[in-house]
Amino acid sequence: MKLLAALLLLPALYVTSPEQGPASSLKASVERGSKVYQTICLTCHQADGLGVDRMNPPLVKTKWVLGDKKALAKIVLNGLKGGEIQIDGDEFHNPMPPQATQLSDQQIADVLTFVRNSFGNKASAVSPAEVKAVRKAIGAPAGPASPAAPVKKAPVKKAPVKK
């Protein structure tokens, strides 16, 4: 009888401990990623993820944000030169600075999980292991040693907007 009571209690325990389970680990990653976003990505992609016309692209439901996680991690690790991508025929002329040496695998995973679950986006989490594999595959330099390393702001270069 004791065993039965314990079994009946199990699901209740699971529900009352919100620290466990995949849903809350997603939430924790999104929270950490939000801080990385505010420090590094926000200046260009803006608080609402809508970017800046002709300079920085929106992060709302684009094929990069919602698509292949390897390609997405590569963009953040290596950066982009400017004019490399097009969204509905629009080009964006700012360069995107590489983050390989600025951010750890964990921080990149968190910020991408945040972006994939913000601004109206809904997609699976990105794990540090996935970022690590891409970093290795493309030969990107190592990130900060500690996953908790303070996030440093990269210098922002503005490309002239052609009128």
Residues making contact with ligand HEC (CB under 6 A): 40-41, 43-45, 56-59, 62, 64-65, 72, 75-76, 80-85, 92, 94, 96-97, 99, 111, 115, 156
Give the chain's length: 163
Give the residue with the Cβ less far from ligand HEC, 11 or 160.
160
Q: Which is nearer to ligand HEC, 11 or 132 (CB)?
A: 132
- Helices and strands in the chain: count of H runs, count of E runs: 7, 2
Kindly state the tokens that stand for 18.
């919100």
Task: Give the separation between CA 20 and CA 40, rounded to whole angstroms.
Answer: 29
Chain position carrying tokens 């924790």:
28
- Phi, psi torsion values for 15, nearest 5 degrees: -70, -35
| Amino acid letter for position 130 | E
* Closest separation in Å from C-beta 135 to ligand HEC: 14
CB of 146 to ligand HEC, least distance (A): 18
Q: How far is the CB of 25 from ligand HEC (least distance, A)?
A: 20
Q: Smallest distance from the beta carbon of 110 to ligand HEC, in angstroms? A: 10
Q: What is the SS3 assignment for 13-27? A: HHHHCCCCCHHHHHH
Shortest Cβ distance from residue 106 to ligand HEC (Å)? 13
Q: Is 52 helix (H, G, I), strand (E, B) or coil?
A: strand
